[in-house]
């Protein structure tokens, strides 16, 4: 369904992705792990054609994105829903308008249907009745949840989550985890979840990709990753800093 | 990053190329996509609201000072009552559109760049694209159309108030004969002068919106990027207006007054 073929991407002299390849089948739920700055967000943006690789290609449903114009990409992106790291809500629009944005642009549903869907989505993310608030009135966690509601409102086939639980309190993070699990199982969507929250990873990651130095360091089922004896992986999943890297030794 | 390589010659041509591509995309979007009229009207309201006052003030004071200075010179050769006709021709064909353009560039162009630039650095533009919406359709086209419509209106306003203020100074302060002033003004001012001013205003409106949106969509990272882009947008739009004005005068002159 989604395939990355040796993607290479640098910004100026800084190499971010140095040959990333994987295949994600429809309906799979994959967690991408990696330290901050390892290029997880950059990778996600390549999968929807928001960024172009320096070399290599991304295929969605067998179609290479590289050769498409922006307008062709827009059609492909209808299949996707994306939650951005900073939520990226449109701050000139109300919460309701944000969530209904894609549906309103598509013009397939009536205004009543869209409003009902917006209310339903807000219900789902535990924020009922805030349709008329502006994003600037919301806390960081609430923005994330509205961003999630916006990402799933038009019923996409593929959902990309960029650090969905970062910055949430533990209970809020757990409710997002549950929500993602439900969405994944009930709507049969393909989910790609970028996170460094191990709880999310344990819960949702049937398969885990670990990004390190611009490459896929590890691509395994979750059980293997959490039992791994490899020192880097072990330290990563248990949140242990290497004393040498910290500079204590 | 995109759009930061300015100042060098290759930077200039690259920028010009990208502006042309954006312009082509705007035209294509207007021709093929459904237009959100409510967005255009909102932008029109926003532009009028923001620039009305400055355009009226600059228009009136420019008309006044031009009239006074012309009178001081013409008085020496006993042509007092022709002063106002100089004001009206100059305002209609040159100063009206240029002044309105510079003011709108400062007020509206800058606001466009700051808004779109902030949307870019907070990933709202990316979010728009993932929601299957082309930024040109949703953000640029309404701003472009609104500016192109608003500029001639503001220009006519600047011309009218400039002439009125000039007349007031000539007759009220400098003691020129009111009836002869009007008679000479009407004699020397042609419809073509107004037409030239309005056509220029349309072009300037296009320049302001194009540069404002381009700088915003391609701005650098962070608050600093937005600040620099906004600054660039105003300067480039103003320079663009002043340079284009000369060529437009020569071109429109040959079109409106064929030999
Ligand atoms: N648009 C950009 N321009 C320049 N550098 C970028 C850009 N986007 C990301 N980077 C750089 O790429 C690296 C990876 O970023 P990112 O993917 O956001 O990391 P993370 O894994 O924390 O999401 C960072 O060092 C960042 O500075
Ligand atoms: Mg990130």
Mean pLDDT of chain B: 93
Does residue A51 register a pLDDT over 90?
Answer: yes
Model pTM score? 0.92
| B2 within some domain | no
Does residue A80 register a pLDDT over 50?
Answer: yes
The model's pLDDT over B202-230, given as tens digits with 9 standing for 90+, comes to 999 999 999 999 999 999 999 999 999 99
Does residue B199 register a pLDDT over 90?
Answer: yes
Looking at ligand 1, which residue's alpha carbon is closest to its atom 9? A42
Does residue A130 register a pLDDT over 90?
Answer: yes
Question: How far is the alpha carbon of A77 from chain B, nearest alpha carbon, in Å?
Answer: 6
CB contact under 8 A, B133 and A105: yes
Does the CB atom of residue A35 touch ligand 1 within 6 A? Answer: no
Query: Is residue B33 within 8 angstroms of chain A, CB to CB?
Result: no
Count structural domains, chain B. Answer: 1
The pLDDT of residue A206 is 83
Question: How far is the alpha carbon of B104 from chain A, nearest alpha carbon, in Å?
Answer: 22
pLDDT band at A170 (very low <50, low <70, confident <90, very high): confident
Q: What is the ipTM of this complex?
A: 0.91
H/E segment holding residue B223: helix B222-256
Does the CB atom of residue A166 touch ligand 1 within 6 A? Answer: no
| B139 within some domain | yes
Mean pLDDT of chain A: 90
Q: Could you list which residues have their CB under 5 Å from ion ligand 2?
A: A 41, 85
Question: How far is the alpha carbon of B112 from chain A, nearest alpha carbon, in Å?
Answer: 13
Pairing relationship of beta strands A215-221 and A207-212 according to DSSP bridges: antiparallel
CB contact under 8 A, A106 and B131: no
Q: Ligand 1: which of A33, A42, A51, A82 to mutate, judged by most atoms within 8 Å of the beta carbon?
A: A42
Rounded average pLDDT over A10-35 = 92
Rounded average pLDDT over B177-199 = 93
Q: Ligand 1: which of A35, A37, A236 to mutate, judged by most atoms within 8 Å of the beta carbon?
A: A37
pLDDT band at B7 (very low <50, low <70, confident <90, very high): low
Does residue B151 register a pLDDT over 50?
Answer: yes
Question: How far is the alpha carbon of B40 from chain A, nearest alpha carbon, in Å?
Answer: 15
More confident residue, A228 or A119: A119
CB contact under 8 A, B128 and A89: no
Does residue B1 register a pLDDT over 60?
Answer: no
The model's pLDDT over A99-120, given as tens digits with 9 standing for 90+, comes to 999 999 988 899 999 999 999 9
pLDDT band at A168 (very low <50, low <70, confident <90, very high): confident
Does residue B8 register a pLDDT over 80?
Answer: no
The pLDDT of residue A166 is 85
CB contact under 8 A, A82 and B130: yes
CB contact under 8 A, A84 and B131: no
Does residue A245 register a pLDDT over 70?
Answer: no
Rounded average pLDDT over A26-33 = 91
Cα separation, B136 vs B231, in Å, equals 22
pLDDT band at A124 (very low <50, low <70, confident <90, very high): confident
Instruction: Decide: residue A110, CB within 10 A, 0-12 exposed, 13-18 middle, 19+ buried.
Output: exposed
pLDDT band at B24 (very low <50, low <70, confident <90, very high): very high
Nearest C-alpha in B relative to A48? B130
The pLDDT of residue B3 is 44
Of residues A81, A88, A154, nearest to B126 (C-beta): A88
Nearest ligand, CA of residue A37? 1
Rounded average pLDDT over B96-100 = 97
Answer for the pair B15, B3: CB distance below 8 angstroms, yes or no: yes
Rounded average pLDDT over A219-235 = 87
Domain with B64 in it: 36-256
Rounded average pLDDT over A47-68 = 93
Does 3.40.1410.10 match the CATH number of domain A26-55+74-237? no
The pLDDT of residue A247 is 64
CB contact under 8 A, B134 and A150: no
The pLDDT of residue B4 is 47
Which ligand 1 atom sits closest to the C-alpha of A163?
23
| B17 within some domain | no
CB contact under 8 A, B127 and A84: yes
From ligand 1's centre to the CA of A14, what distance in Å? Answer: 9
More confident residue, A163 or A242: A163
| B19 within some domain | no
The pLDDT of residue A248 is 60
Rounded average pLDDT over A132-137 = 96
Nearest C-alpha in A relative to B115? A92
Instruction: Choose the mutation target among B32, B130, B136, B217 for the interface with A, i.e. most A CBs under 10 Å.
Output: B130
Does the CB atom of residue A141 touch ligand 1 within 6 A? Answer: no
The pLDDT of residue A236 is 86
| B193 within some domain | yes
Q: What is the DSSP string of chain A?
A: -EEEEEEEEEETTEEEEEEEEEEE-TT-EEEEEE-TTSSHHHHHHHHTTSS--SEEEEEETTEESTT--HHHHHHHHTTEEEE-TT----TTS-HHHHHTHHHHHHT-S-HHHHHHHHHHHHHHTT-TT-TT--GGGS-HHHHHHHHHHHHHHT--SEEEEESTTTTS-HHHHHHHHHHHHHHHHHS--EEEEE---HHHHHHH-SEEEEEETTEEEEEEEHHHHHT---HHHHHHHHT---HHHHT--
Does residue B154 register a pLDDT over 80?
Answer: yes
């Amino acid at each position: 369904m989604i395939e990355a073929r040796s993607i290479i991407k640098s910004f100026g002299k800084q190499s971010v992705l140095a040959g990333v390849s994987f295949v994600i089948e429809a309906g799979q739920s994959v967690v991408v792990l990696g330290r901050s700055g390892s290029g997880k967000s950059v990778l996600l943006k390549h999968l929807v054609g928001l960024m172009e690789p320096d070399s290599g290609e991304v295929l969605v449903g067998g179609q290479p994105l590289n050769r498409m114009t922006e307008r062709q990409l827009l059609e492909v992106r209808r299949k996707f829903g994306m939650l951005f790291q900073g939520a990226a809500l449109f701050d000139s629009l109300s919460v309701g308008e944000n969530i209904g944005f894609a549906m309103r642009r598509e013009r397939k549903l009536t205004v009543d249907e869209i409003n009902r869907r917006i209310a339903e989505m807000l219900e789902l993310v535990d924020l009922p009745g805030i349709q008329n608030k502006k994003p600037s009135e919301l806390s960081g966690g609430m923005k994330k949840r509205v961003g999630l509601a916006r990402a799933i409102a038009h019923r996409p086939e593929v959902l990309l989550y960029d650090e969905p639980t970062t910055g949430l309190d533990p209970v809020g993070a757990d409710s997002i985890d549950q929500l993602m699990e439900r969405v994944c199982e009930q709507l049969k969507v393909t989910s790609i979840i970028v996170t460094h929250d191990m709880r999310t990873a344990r819960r949702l990651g049937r398969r885990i990709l670990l990004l390190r130095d611009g490459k896929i360091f590890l691509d395994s089922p979750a059980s293997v990753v959490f039992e791994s004896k490899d020192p880097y992986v072990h330290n990563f999943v248990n949140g242990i800093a290497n004393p040498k890297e910290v500079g204590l030794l | 990053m995109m759009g930061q390589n300015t100042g060098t010659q290759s930077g200039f041509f690259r920028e010009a190329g990208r502006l042309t591509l954006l312009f082509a995309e705007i035209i294509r979007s207007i021709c093929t996509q459904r237009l959100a009229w409510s967005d255009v009207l909102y932008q029109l309201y926003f532009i009028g609201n923001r620039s009305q006052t400055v355009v009226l003030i600059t228009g009136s004071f420019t008309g006044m000072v031009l009239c006074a200075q012309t009178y001081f010179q013409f008085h020496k050769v006993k042509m007092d009552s022709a002063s106002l006709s100089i004001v009206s021709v100059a305002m209609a064909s040159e100063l009206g559109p240029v002044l309105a353009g510079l003011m709108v560039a400062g007020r509206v162009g800058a606001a466009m760049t700051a808004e779109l630039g902030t949307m870019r650095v907070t990933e709202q533009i990316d979010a728009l694209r993932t929601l299957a919406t082309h930024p040109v359709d949703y953000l640029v086209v309404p701003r472009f159309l609104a500016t192109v419509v608003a500029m001639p209106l503001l220009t006519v306003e600047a011309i009218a108030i400039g002439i009125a203020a000039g007349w007031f100074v000539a007759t009220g302060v400098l003691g020129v004969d009111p009836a002869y002033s009007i008679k000479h003004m009407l004699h020397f001012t042609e419809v073509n002068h107004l037409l030239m001013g309005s056509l220029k205003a349309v072009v300037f409106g296009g320049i302001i919106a194009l540069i404002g949106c381009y700088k915003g969509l391609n701005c650098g990272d962070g608050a600093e990027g937005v600040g620099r882009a906004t600054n660039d947008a105003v300067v480039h739009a103003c320079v663009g207006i002043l340079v284009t004005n000369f060529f437009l005068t020569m071109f429109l002159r040959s079109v409106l007054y064929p030999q």
